[in-house]
Copies of this chain bind each other. A is one copy, B any other.
Amino acid sequence: MLRGLYLGRFQPYHLGHHEVLKKIATEVSEIIIGIGSAQISHEIENPFTAGERVLMVSRAIEELGIKHYVIPIEDIRRNSLWVSHVMSMVPPFDVAYTNNPLVIELLGEAGVDVRESPLFKRNSYSGTEIRRRMLENDRWEHFVPGKVVEIIQEINGVKRLRKVSQSDDE
């Protein structure tokens, strides 16, 4: 039995994440999805709450039929403590999947087995691109799983993103 950890902010969860998880599901028997910056929401780069992102990931991952854990992880804001922080919040894991260079360095220094996760259509399957499309009223729905589209609509997510992206000079 092998347990793998996959980390992301999932603002929002999109088909790029989904393809990675499908690939990981062929290598491990249990997947932990860690939702980073859990305490942050209502920002232009981070519109959704941790709870909303838990729902997105949980709904989308069901179809993979693999045992999974979806865990919000608050920022610790100290790189030297980050690995211990993550390890205290999630079940023990054997391998971590990520493309984030800082995370690779931190996990590597701690002796964790890290595998770079494959990339899928990097230009479109990207949180930045999807949020840009939401803001500019472009089509974004085909870049995220159908169940995630539903959740974003239910919580009025696009309206929220547009509102918080406006600036104000007091």
* A residues apposed to B, CB below 8 Å: 8-9, 38-43, 49-52, 54-55, 58, 69-72, 74, 76, 78-81, 83-85, 87-92, 99-102, 104-106, 109, 122, 126-128, 160, 163-170
Q: Do B89 and A50 touch across chains, with their CB atoms under 8 A apart?
A: yes
The number of times this chain is found in the oligomer is 6
Can you add 8 more A-B contacts, CB < 8 Å, to A51-B91, A80-B88, A101-B166?
A: A8-B170, A40-B79, A49-B89, A51-B87, A51-B90, A54-B90, A55-B92, A99-B170
Chain B residues, CB < 8 A from A85:
78, 80-81
Q: Do B104 and A163 touch across chains, with their CB atoms under 8 A apart?
A: yes
Q: Do B81 and A51 touch across chains, with their CB atoms under 8 A apart?
A: no
Q: Do A42 and B80 touch across chains, with their CB atoms under 8 A apart?
A: yes
